[in-house]
Amino acid sequence: MRGTNGAMKGLTGLFAVLIVALHTSVPLRAQTGARTSEPTRTGAAQDSVVRPTVLVIATGGTIAGVQSAPGTMGGYRAGTLTAEQVISSVPELARHARVEAEQFSNVASTRITPAQWVALARRIETVLRERPEIAGVVVTHGTDRLEETAFFLYLTVRSDKPVVVVGSQRPATGISPDGPINLLAAVRTAASPHAVGKGVMVVMDDRILSAREVRKQYQRVGGFTVGEMGMLGVMASDGPEFFYTPARRHGASSEFDVSTVDSLPRVELLFSYPGGTGPRFETLPAGVVVATTGFAPDEGTPFRVLRQKGVVVVTAFPSGDNVNGAPRQNAPQNDSTSVDSARADSARADTSAAAVAARLERAVPLSVVSQHLTPQKARILLMLALTKTRDPRELQRYFLTY
C-alpha cells in the first residue's frame, strides 16, 4: 500500500508540475472581453488523415483556473490559463480534430455581461459564415453563468453547425481535474456531423445537454442536468451518440439577429414570496420576469400597475419545470381612460374585490407566461424579444416558440 500511495502522490505531483510549466511557459495576454485578432492553430495531426477543424473560443472560468498550491484542494484563480495552454494540456484532441484557439476573454463567468453575450454570438456567427471549413465551435466557460451564455447563443447563433459550451467544476491544477475530459468530449461533439442541427449544446461529464434545458444543479462534478427533459445524447467510446433533437425553434431558423443590436433592453428578475408587496422602481425597466407559483395578496396590484405603465411582465415557475397555457387573449385596453372606465364600471356593477380586480386586469396589457424555462432563461428570451416588439401577444408567441 505504501508503494501504491507513493506512486499516486508522484503522479498527482507530476500532473501539477506539467500544468504549472504550461502556465509559466506561454505568455499571457491581457484579457478584457475583446477577441484576439486571429485564432491560433494548434493540435495539428501528425499523419495524413484529414480531420475536421474545430475552433475553441475561450472565455475563462474554472477550466482555465490555477491554484496557488497546485495538486491540492485549495482555492484557485479562475480565468488564468490561456486558450492555447488549456488546449495544449489535452494532446488527445489532435486525434479527433484540427483545433484552433481564440481568446475572447479570460474571466470568472460571473463577470460575463449581456454585452459580451452579444459580442460572442456575433463572433461565432461571423466565423461560421466566413469560414465554411470549420465544422463547429467550442466555447470554454465558467460554470456559474454557463447556462445563461449557452441559452443566449442557442437563441442567437443562426447556424445549424454545432456550437458546444463546456466548463469544469475543478481547476486545471486540482486533484483529478474534469476540464480535460470535458474539453475532449466537447471537441469530439463539435466535430461530429451527427451534431448538426441539434442547437447549442452543453457537454459535461460525457453527457450532451440542450442549452435550452440545461441548468447547474450543484457545484460538483456531475452538477449539470436537464431535469425531466432528458439528455440529447452521450459521449461514447466511439464518439457522440444522439437520441433526441430539440423541438423548439433554434439555430438557422431563429428570428433573433444580434448583428444590429447595440444593447439589450433592461429586464429585471424578481421573486414572489409569502407576504410580498411587489416591486418598486425609481426608474422603470423595459420588462420584469417574476419567479412565482402564484402572487401573494398584495403583489398583484403592483405588477398590474407596472403593466399599465408599459413594463412587460413575464411569469415563470421558480423551478423552470412548469408548463401552463398562455393567458387570456382578449383585446387589451392600454390607455388610462380605459382603466378609469373600468373603475367607473366597478361602481355600477359587482363591487366585490374579486370582480373589481378582474375588471382592472382586463384593462391593462396582458402578462406573458413562460413555458418550461428557468426564470433566468426567461429573462434572456424577454431581453431578445423586446428588441423586436412590445406587443404582449407577439411576446407570448416567442415564449411559445423558443
C-alpha cell belonging to residue 165: 459550451
Contact (CB, 8 A) for 227 and 131: no
Q: How far is residue 120's CA from residue 35's CA, in Å, rounded to a whole number?
A: 9
C-alpha cell belonging to residue 356: 373589481
- Active site residue: 12, 24, 42, 62, which one? 62
∠ Cα 381 386 391 (to 5°) = 110
Catalytic residue check, 389: no
Contact (CB, 8 A) for 207 and 231: yes
Q: Is 118 helix (H, G, I), strand (E, B) or coil?
A: helix
Q: How far is residue 210's CA from residue 163's CA, in Å, rounded to a whole number?
A: 11
Q: What is the dihedral of CA 132, 134, 231, 256, to 10 degrees?
A: -50
Q: How far is residue 19's CA from residue 211's CA, in Å, rounded to a whole number?
A: 30
Q: What is the dihedral of CA 137, 140, 145, 148, to 10 degrees?
A: 0
> How many Cβ atoms sit within 10 Å of the Cβ of residue 179?
25
Q: How far is residue 128's CA from residue 47's CA, in Å, rounded to a whole number?
A: 26
Contact (CB, 8 A) for 105 and 31: yes
Q: What is the dihedral of CA 191, 195, 201, 207, to 10 degrees?
A: -90
Q: How far is residue 207's CA from residue 221's CA, in Å, rounded to a whole number?
A: 12
R_g over Cα of the chain: 24
| Side-chain half-sphere exposure of 382, counting CA atoms within 13 A | 29
First-to-last C-alpha distance (Å) of the chain: 56
Catalytic residues: 62
